[in-house]
Structure 1
Amino acid sequence: MNNENVFFNPGDAISSSHDYKEARRSAQIIKANKPTAGQIIIAKNAKNGTYAIYLAENARDEKHGEPYKITDKL
């Protein structure tokens, strides 16, 4: 698991789940269906503990996003 912090706007999430395995499975499906979409990040919301899937290019700065911990990159 990665301890790297990143900030995202929750509205930019492609998908979210309370279960890491479900989030990873969704991310793998997204990556398989859109291989040119760029890097996909699975991140855990620091406030509520849910996992969300984001495109890496949608990362924000701390003033414009909520804190997440990166758990996986595809």
Structure 2
Amino acid sequence: MNNENVFFNPGDAIASSHDFKEARRSAQIIKADKPTAGQLVIAKNAKSGEYAIYFADKARDDQQGVAYHIEDKL
């Protein structure tokens, strides 16, 4: 597990789930469908515990948005 925290705008999420395995499976499907789309991250919302899938380049440098804990990168 990675200890990296990052901020995302929740509206930028590609998909979300309460289950990590389901989120990872969704991310794998997205990545297989569009292999040139860029790196995906599976992030866990620091408050709600929900997992969301984001394009890595959608991370916010200004710490505005919602704090997420990076769980996996594809």
TM over 0.5: yes
Q: In 1, Cα distance between the equivalents of 2:30 and 2:46? A: 23
- TM-score where L is the length of structure 1: 0.96
User: Do structure 1's residue 7 and structure 2's residue 12 form an aligned pair?
Assistant: no
TM-score (norm 2): 0.96
Residue identity (%):
78
CA distance in 1, matches of 2:57, 2:3: 19
Q: For residue 2 of structure 1, give the secondary structure of its aligned residue in structure 2.
A: coil
Aligned residues: 73
After the TM superposition, which residues 44-59 of structure 1 pair with which residues of structure 2 at under 5 Å, given as runs?
Answer: 44-59=44-59
For 2:28 and 2:39, the matched residues in 1 are separated by 11
Alignment root-mean-square deviation, CA: 0.6
Structure 1 outlier segments of 4+, above 6 Å: none
Deviation of residue 44 (structure 1)?
0.2
SS in 1 for 2:36: coil
Q: Distance in 2 between matches of 1:26 and 1:36?
A: 16
Matches for 1:22-33 after TM superposition, within 5 Å: 22-33=22-33
Q: Which runs of 5+ in 2 are unaligned?
A: none
Unaligned 5+ runs, structure 1 = none
What secondary structure does 2:7 align onto?
strand
